[in-house]
Structure 1
């Protein structure tokens, strides 16, 4: 049987098994209201979490929820049952499954999208990228060949992005501050604040590395990036205050207080970098985070047409540098996920990049 027919048959079977009553491409106004309610619930739990027992009682009768991402996934699943032809809802399901490390489920969700819309580039490139990272090279190769038939240039562009991310997985991590020649800027990535806006040890260690690098490069401007608020302050705000209290001139420090995650760090900090116009940028983060950070920052710079040379300085959150150099399968998936998000393919289309 033709592969596309098999996938479509599986999709139709899924609809029948789950009891979907809406096979129309155009949900009723009542169904649309429910879809909106489900998606709003999902994205609220994505950012804030909430009462799981309340969510079970009000929205997901008969479903036991194990955590906030269960709420997100099931929210988009319920919405998709009401409008099975809407790809944005299915992308929401798959993105949450990736977060939950349900990679096989996510790949099947992308295949369901392709069964309905075989030429959907976004589903295809996500299927290819994640298949590559779990070692399913046949699916990766077959999907890339199909994508090249209709979108050769766009497909090649993503292959170049993947190649750059793979390069970053093999970078040498720098744990000691160094002098940088030429026009230079420093970017320090934030980390979630504790209650009442208190900095956690990880963020302080990143700032210590930033301070050490500043002392080697005292004229370099510094971007502090992080916009999640706790206790009425953002990461960027407390980061700037810490640096100033440790002798860094305030005029050197630029705040990105909008970013809510690593992708936001890259997008908003790159806007500042475009104005500063450095040649070289040193990105500072934890060793476990730096490869993802570099991949998304380089992508954000490329999208803005900036030719920046990136170096790294890390806070070593591993027992040894040798252990830090190893890249886990989970980290590879997250690097590809955030790279693709930065490139413009949203995790939750129309809601959250």
Structure 2
């Protein structure tokens, strides 16, 4: 079996086995429209999402290095570099070995640096492959190298002036850096390439600006619509011992208050990264039941590995259960990104149902800032990950064909 396929299925099986449970409303790949695309990776630069830290598989990276060094066919050398990139993205690895065996003369500063250098090498082998260049740009974004990423997107546009995805990405990160002129030029070009789709993204960008102004509530709001209402609580990385950490416990305390204030609301707990045989969703479910919440109210979404999957998989439950308005619960530093991704996922569900739900999203946060005033400020770093995850949720993968 191809090594890439083998690696994927090993990791996928691990997630599925870890998420199985006999109690509650656990969502599995049998009844989730999006779960067939579950990845085994997590964006590691985010301290407010679940963090996948699985044991490195017994994959012979030396053999992959050998394929790149030797006179293998072009396609096989590129495939080996892609596999090296995904190996270090998912699991990390020996950077000194990568320096010695593959990237002589380059000092590597982290796993994402290996990802970047792997795609950089691949783009040298095939400088016309725009998807490799997009993967290179994504690796640069993961390391906060926005100017370098913008240059990579511009190289794609030089090769393919009508590349819609490249203009979307260039527009988003130009906006993050405050380059309004470039943003507006990209938006205009998008409408020229595909008027309907371009206008849709222009509306989405405007919507993100409005969401970024949202007031973060540290107390459960009054007068939330009670009919078909759902509370969705986002998970947070379990400890190496498979236990809930303070951040997740604080989110659950907020959830308990909301659940008691709105006793008819359904509750979705989302988080599927396994540690010691447990997922966040399972432990969150158990904690709420122990505190007196009726287990029939709670749905366990135990497959998601990051914020994008939290949104896609949870909103699939919302769609299946006929739920309408949503109250999101997560940390204040994570809420704006969650609101953006869940709104985008909600629009996808509307598309699948061929309807307009006009769903209302409210929020309650665990305040992880020193003050509410500080919490309302959106930094450039936060805005970068907001746009990154929005684009991923909208269907444009970070690493085309490899990783959402």
**TM-score of the superposition, structure 1-length normalised?**
0.89
> Which ranges of structure 2 fall in alignment gaps of 5 or more residues?
1-70, 351-356
Say if 2:386 is the partner of 1:351: no
- Which residue in the other structure is 1:310 paired with? 361
- Which residue in the other structure is 1:321 paired with? 372
Contact 2:318–2:324 (CA<8 Å) still a contact in 1?
no
Contact 2:85–2:119 (CA<8 Å) still a contact in 1?
yes
Match of 2:248, SS state, is helix
Match of 2:363, SS state, is strand
- Which residue in the other structure is 1:300 paired with? 345
- Which residue in the other structure is 2:329 paired with? 284
Contact 1:196–1:232 (CA<8 Å) still a contact in 2?
no
Aligned partners of 1:333 and 1:315: how far apart in 2? 22
Aligned partners of 1:326 and 1:46: how far apart in 2? 30
Residue of structure 2 aligned with 1:223, choices 268, 287, 292:
268
Alignment size in residue pairs: 326
Residue of structure 1 aligned with 2:250, choices 201, 205, 229:
205
Match of 2:73, SS state, is helix
Question: How far apart are residue 246 of structure 1 and its match?
Answer: 1.5
Residue of structure 2 aligned with 1:337, choices 388, 391, 396:
388
Question: How far apart are residue 278 of structure 1 and its match?
Answer: 2.0
- Which residue in the other structure is 1:246 paired with? 291
Q: After alignment, is 111-120 or 236-245 more displaced?
A: 236-245
Aligned partners of 1:114 and 1:294: how far apart in 2? 31
Say if 2:142 is the partner of 1:142: no
Question: How far apart are residue 209 of structure 1 and its match?
Answer: 0.6
Aligned partners of 1:149 and 1:220: how far apart in 2? 45
Aligned partners of 2:221 and 2:176: how far apart in 1? 33
- Which residue in the other structure is 2:304 paired with? 259
Match of 2:241, SS state, is helix
- Which residue in the other structure is 1:182 paired with? 226
- Which residue in the other structure is 2:353 paired with? none
Aligned partners of 1:286 and 1:208: how far apart in 2? 12
Compare relative contact order (CA 8 Å, sep 6+) and give the higher one, 1 or 2. Answer: 2
* Residues 1-353 of structure 1 mapped to structure 2, 5 A cutoff: 30-179=73-222, 180-183=224-227, 184-305=229-350, 306-353=357-404
Match of 2:364, SS state, is strand
Aligned partners of 2:145 and 2:248: how far apart in 1? 29
Contact 1:182–1:279 (CA<8 Å) still a contact in 2?
no
Question: How far apart are residue 29 of structure 1 and its match?
Answer: 6.0
Question: How far apart are residue 235 of structure 1 and its match?
Answer: 1.4
**TM-score of the superposition, structure 2-length normalised?**
0.78
Match of 1:283, SS state, is strand
Contact 1:42–1:72 (CA<8 Å) still a contact in 2?
yes
After the TM superposition, which segments of 4 or more aligned residues of structure 1 sit over 4 Å from their partners?
Answer: none
> Which ranges of structure 1 fall in alignment gaps of 5 or more residues?
1-27
Aligned partners of 1:192 and 1:60: how far apart in 2? 32
Aligned partners of 1:228 and 1:57: how far apart in 2? 33
Match of 1:229, SS state, is coil
Contact 1:287–1:318 (CA<8 Å) still a contact in 2?
yes
Question: How far apart are residue 99 of structure 1 and its match?
Answer: 1.4
Contact 1:227–1:259 (CA<8 Å) still a contact in 2?
yes
Q: What is the CA deviation profile of residues 299-348 of structure 1, one whole-angstrom value per residue up to 9, with x for unaligned ones?
A: 01101104321000100000010000000011111111111110011111
